[in-house]
Amino acid sequence: MLGMSRTGLAGAALRVALTALLPLVLPAYYVYKLTTYLLGAVFPEDVAGKVVLITGASSGIGEHLAYEYAKRGAYLALVARREASLREVGDVALGLGSPGVLVLPADVSKPRDCEGFIDDTISYFGRLDHLVNNASIWQVCKFEEIQDVRHLRALMDINFWGHVYPTRLAIPHLQLVLHIHREEHLLQCQQGGGAQLLRHPEDGAGQRHPHHRGGARRGGV
């Protein structure tokens, strides 16, 4: 009986230990699974030479998406509030193979900032092929535990409106690229290939340091 009791206690202790470890292990696992899923969904096409704008690119999933796009030869426009972190990500992305990086400190919850980084991307690269709305914040709690629902405003401003604003502003540019790609494909079929309707500016193509938008806000969170 004593042996069985000790065995039972050991089993119970093991279950308690595993239960305690789950909250530590599962978040990293889910981040890994989400990143793997996103990469599989994003990269079936050849993105070399294409212009990709990523919000929330200073850390986490956005940072690693930037690196994956860089490895595949994409031009990058990186958006986040933390300029110093963005510059570090830009340096790494250039080292991984991105031919040009534009650093755009901005707050996606502000419509004017969104308009600014979309316009700056188009002005610098001349086009926009991919928009990755990654910026988000997390708040985990029971709804009845929230003392003041006004605290949810920031979450909605970033997680909802911070995706709506850039998407609405980017749609005309994304549609233009799709239209030109169709014409380019037809032209190549008719003439045997070799036609290129869009060119990136030489200053962007030859940039070996992250380019910083002139007059942009410095600092931030």
pTM above 0.85, yes or no: no
Give the angle 65-28-91 at the CA atoms, nearest 5°: 30
Mean pLDDT by 10 residues, the chain (221 residues): 56 62 60 65 77 94 95 96 94 96 95 96 95 82 70 81 93 85 45 35 46 43 23
pLDDT value, residue 164: 93
pLDDT value, residue 204: 42
Side-chain-side CA neighbours of residue 80 (13 Å) = 26
Sequence-ordered strand ranges (E) for the chain: 51-55, 75-80, 101-105, 130-132, 211-212
Q: Does domain 46-171 have CATH number 3.20.20.110?
A: no
| Domain spans in the chain, listed from the N-terminal domain onward | 16-45, 46-171
pLDDT value, residue 2: 46
pLDDT value, residue 189: 40
Tokens of 136: 């988000």
d(CA 89, CA 95): 10
d(CA 193, CA 74): 22
